[in-house]
Amino acid sequence: MVNPGAFQGSRKAFLLSQKADYKDGVVGGYAADALAKIQRRYFKRYPIDLPHFEEPPPEWLEAVDDESPDVEQDEPDMSTLDEEQYAMEVEQLQARKSLLKFRKAVRLSL
């Protein structure tokens, strides 16, 4: 059986639609910037908290505004939380950061 790949549905369609922009970046010498822009647009459509196997609603995808500023993730505030809540919030933030780093990882096969 052939491996279907990691991306399916609208995620795959989105990434395939970005090939020309990435190619322009490689040819123009700004591949890292092109990739960062594609990743930013991808995470606006497919938030890190959305499971990788789950499709967002079509209304969500239609409402995406690539020009809107990104929402910043606030650090937990120890002064407003008790120790247990603070530890839980810090743990969730670290897990989210790890997942983001994993999903953004790009490997080159030589």
pLDDT per residue, tens digit, the chain (110 aa), is: 777 777 889 999 999 999 999 999 999 999 999 999 999 999 999 988 888 889 999 999 999 999 998 877 778 888 888 888 888 888 988 888 888 888 777 654 43
| CA pair distance 35, 25, nearest whole angstrom | 8
What are the distances in angstroms from CA 62 to CA 10, 70, 71, 72? 12, 17, 18, 22
Task: Describe the crossing of helices 9-17 and 19-28 by its angle, rounded to 10 degrees.
Answer: 40
Cα–Cα dist 50/12, whole Å: 15
What the block records as the tokens of 109 is 């096969």
Give Cα 84 distance to the centre of its chain: 29
